[in-house]
Each structure stands twice: as structure tokens, then as C-alpha cells.
Structure 1
Amino acid sequence: MVAGSFYIPKLNDEKPLGEDASFICIKQQTIGVADGVGGWAKKGIDSGVYSRELMKNAELAVRNNDNSTTDDLMKVLNEAYSNTKAKGSSTACILTLSDDTLHAVNVGDSRFVVIRDGLIVYKSEIQQSRFNCPFQLGNASSSDDPSVAQKISFPVIAGDVIVLGTDGLFDNVHDFELETLVKSGVYSWESDVPESLAWRIALYALDNAKSTELYSPYSRECSKVGIERDGGKYDDITVIVANIWPL
């Protein structure tokens, strides 16, 4: 697995780094994203500090542990959660490749897809207590802990493309659009290709997020709860693209 990422934070002078965070550990074949929950801003807390600390601790745990199964990833998530002391809360999704199987643990509404021959063959589910309120890791009594995490295993083959992202991606880009973006990508085994594709996908998501007219995935979900709202959802956007190479 070879991976690259691109991040576009929301324009906010008070939080120039945004609230998303991510890491890539190619040697350990592991990637992860986190999205700090924006509601903390009402209490004067930048949840991006929490998400960045969580991902830093997850990366440290990945480098110090065997990450070949979902149970191993749960150890990573538990260790990262225990060592994160910042205020705030965050979603988290961590993936690892072991042999021909992709393993993942997920808390909240970050998600990933596996694209094979230009079509999505797997898309992870989100976790939320109600619309727009994802499960979230944090130190507050109202937050969740890693025990709520989904454990996922999915077989992959050479040529598969994995796209992992925060809700800034998936709230603004439909599945068919993501398939088209990946199919139109430049395929080679050059190490910079995943990062280039991540950049293209993130910019596409940003264009949709700024629209006030299109029928976005976020518009669709709003309509399910009786909210009529056209346009995208302006948010931090993190995209990680990983190509599965032949052994």
C-alpha cells in the first residue's frame, strides 16, 4: 500500500490549522484521520488540538505495536485515546493493510471506500447518535470511548484504490463523483500519484462545499430529517488516497 494525503482547512483566523488531523505510516501500512467536533467552539475550545494530539498518539502507537488485525488496531486506538489529554473531542478512523485484507476501526462519521475497476465495492458506515451528531472520542463525560468503535475487515486485491476522508469529503461528493475522479486519475506506480489524486479529490470537494445550489450528499441527508437545504457543507476536508500494489 502506497498512500498520499491532502488537507484543506476551513478559512478561520482563530483556527488556522482547522479541526482535522491525519497520519500515514507506510512502513506499518497504516493510515488514519480524525475530525475535531466543532461544537466545542461555543465553549472557547479548539477541538483541532484534540484531534491532532489523538492522531499523533495514534501514530506513535502504530510505530510501537503490531497492527495486523482489528484487535491490534483497537489497542492502538485505546492507547491513543488514553494518552490524549487535550480538551475537546474527535471522530477517528484508522486503517491497516495486512496481507490481502484491509482492517479498520472507526468512531464517528469519517469513512472510507474501496474502489475496484472504477467502482466502489465497499463503503464504511458512519456512527451518529442523531443527525449531524457523530460518535466522538474525548475526555468529557458526554463523549464516547474506543469501546464504541466499529471493527471492519475487507479483502482487497492489487489495483484497488482506497479513499479515506473526513465528512468534509463525503458530505460534498457523491459516490458516482468519487468513482469518476478516481477513474480519471493518472495511474502509474510513481510514489507521488496518491497525493496528486488526493489533491484533485479535495479540490473537487471544496468546489462542491462552496456551492449554494447543488444537491449534495449533505442536502440528501438533511431532507431525510425534514430539512430542505441545497448546496454543499463548508468544512475542513481531509483526503487520503492509498493504492494497493501487487506483492
Structure 2
Amino acid sequence: MAACISSLGHDQYSSKIKFDKLFNLSRYKRYFDFSSHAINYDNPENQSNKKLKFSHDDEFSSNKLPCQKMVVGSVYLPKDNPNKPLGEDAHFMYELYQTIGVADGVGGWALQGIDAGIYARELMKNSFIATYDEAMKDNPSVAQEMELNVEKDDILMVGTDGMLDNIFESEIEEIVERAIDQKLKAEELASQIGNIALYNSFDRFADTPYAKASEGRHKGGKIDDITVIVAYIQ
């Protein structure tokens, strides 16, 4: 299981969201625009306690808004498998806590009786909850943490092997540069990258990271679940 969580800051409020609906959308596109998506609060006037990192310490001032915000879009393209219409990837995006997460299910776990798709969805569901509920068995403070500085107009991208095995980083950079020129929205860029990765995955002769890593044992792309999350830093 490979998992990635990214956070840019959050309020100390939870929202009433139907988790089963959020984590069991079956196919294709799912996105939030953090600049406009609204969540109802019980006490909207008390929107304070902003933090600039994912951990729950008091290192930063509790009364200042983050310097940046994320505008996020995603695409999920599960591989065609009638027995697993939801695929084995999972991800979430949480506007209030400015947090995104992605998990790549490990299909080999089936040999041990584990459904990788269910595991990935539960991991992301509980990661989502843990962003605001410190009473969880585990919480974000026990995770391995790495911090990266971001600036306005940076673009953050995370994805699963379905993306990374089928499209080179240099290709992604070219797509992103064109997207900037075309002023594409985050979900449009995510969809573009996801669909190119999907196309390459079916191309038996494509030059792909997966083929390169196989050192001649494999040609073309790798058919897999594809998840792409794009976050514009504003």
C-alpha cells in the first residue's frame, strides 16, 4: 500500500459528509473547487484556529489564515474489471482542512484474502476523519512527515502507479505548461493527464516508465487503476 497525504492548513471543524457516498463513487471524475465549494457550519462566525501544517501542535499561531489555499481537482479511472467496479485506488479531498490524500491498493494482497480496494477506501476514509478527529486509534501525528515549501502559482500533483507507470515526468511537465497557457482548471488538467496515462496503458508499443523499468522484459504501458489529483496553490 502506497499512501500520500498532503495538507495546507485547516479549521477545527468537522462537516457532516456521507462517507459511504464520498468513497464509493464508481467511475471517472470527482472534484471540489476549494475556492467556491461551500460547507455549512453550526457556528460559521467562529472560523479561526488555522494551522499551516498537518500535525496537531501549537507551533504556529492559531488566529492566522494560511498564506495560500489549494484549488483541487481529480480524476479516477478504474481499470475495467466487472468483479471490482470501484477498482483498488482511493482518494479524498477535504476543503475545510485543505487536505488531500491518495492510496494505491496492492492487488497482490488477494493471495492473503485481503481486498485491496476495500482496504484503500477504508484507509482514505479514516485518514479523512483523522484530519479533524483526534480521538482516532491512530492520528496524523504518528505518520511519517515530510514538509515542502510552496508558493503562489505552484502546482502540486499526486497520483497512483496507474499514472506514474504510464507517463514520464517530462511529459507531465509539458502537459502542465500547456495547461497554464490554456488556463485549464485543476480538474481539467487532472482529467487530461489521467486520460493520456489511460491511452498509454493500452498501447503495446508505447515508451513508458513501466517498460523502461522492466529493462526489456515488457513493452508498452501497464493497465492499472489511474488516480490523479491536481492542486493549484493560490
Q: List alignment gaps of at least 5 residues for structure 2.
A: 1-69
**Corresponding residue pairs, total:** 162
Cα distance in 2, alignment partners of residues 205 and 244 from structure 1: 24
TM-score (norm 1): 0.61
Structure 1 residue aligned with 2:164: 170
Residues 145-164 of structure 1 mapped to structure 2, 5 A cutoff: 149=144, 151-164=145-158
Structure 1 residue aligned with 2:194: 202
Which of 41, 50, 70 is 2:110 aligned to?
41
Aligned partner of 2:225: which letter? D
Cα distance in 2, alignment partners of residues 77 and 31 from structure 1: 16
TM-score (norm 2): 0.64
Cα distance in 1, alignment partners of residues 178 and 115 from structure 2: 37
Q: Secondary structure of 2:153's partner?
A: coil
Structure 2 residue aligned with 1:14: 83
Cα distance in 2, alignment partners of residues 58 and 193 from structure 1: 26
User: Closer, same or farther in 2 for the Cα pair 1:47/1:222, shift >3 Å?
Assistant: same
| 1:215 aligns to 2:204 (yes or no) | no
Structure 1 residue aligned with 2:139: 75
| 1:181 aligns to 2:167 (yes or no) | no
Cα distance in 1, alignment partners of residues 190 and 114 from structure 2: 29
Following TM superposition, the consecutive aligned residue runs of length 4 or more in structure 1 with deviations greater than 3 angstroms are 42-45, 186-189
Cα distance in 1, alignment partners of residues 101 and 181 from structure 2: 23
Structure with max Cα Rg = 2
| 1:4 aligns to 2:73 (yes or no) | yes
Cα distance in 1, alignment partners of residues 182 and 133 from structure 2: 32
Aligned partner of 2:196: which letter? Y
| Structure 1 residue 3, shift from structure 2 partner | 0.7
| Structure 1 residue 220, shift from structure 2 partner | 1.4
User: Closer, same or farther in 2 for the Cα pair 1:178/1:152, shift >3 Å?
Assistant: same
Cα distance in 2, alignment partners of residues 169 and 77 from structure 1: 29
Q: Secondary structure of 2:93's partner?
A: strand
**Richer in strand (by share):** 1
Q: Secondary structure of 1:153's partner?
A: coil
| Structure 1 residue 45, shift from structure 2 partner | 3.7
Structure 1 residue aligned with 2:227: 238
Cα distance in 1, alignment partners of residues 172 and 129 from structure 2: 31
| Structure 1 residue 186, shift from structure 2 partner | 5.0
User: Closer, same or farther in 2 for the Cα pair 1:54/1:187, shift >3 Å?
Assistant: farther
Structure 2 residue aligned with 1:24: 93
Aligned partner of 2:140: which letter? V
Aligned partner of 1:5: which letter? S
Q: List alignment gaps of at least 5 residues for structure 1.
A: 66-73, 79-145
Q: Secondary structure of 2:103's partner?
A: strand
| Structure 1 residue 63, shift from structure 2 partner | 2.7
Aligned partner of 1:241: which letter? V
Q: Percent identity?
A: 45
| Structure 1 residue 75, shift from structure 2 partner | 3.3
| Structure 1 residue 154, shift from structure 2 partner | 1.5
Indicate if the aligned counterparts of 1:187 and 1:193 stay in contact, CA closer than 8 A. Answer: no
User: Closer, same or farther in 2 for the Cα pair 1:222/1:215, shift >3 Å?
Assistant: same
Can you list the C-alpha shifts for 1:4-60, whole angstroms capped at 9, x where unaligned?
Answer: 110000100110000000000122111100011101234554210010011000001
Aligned partner of 1:154: which letter? L
Cα distance in 2, alignment partners of residues 231 and 58 from structure 1: 34
| 1:63 aligns to 2:63 (yes or no) | no
Aligned partner of 2:211: which letter? S
Q: CA RMSD in A?
A: 2.1
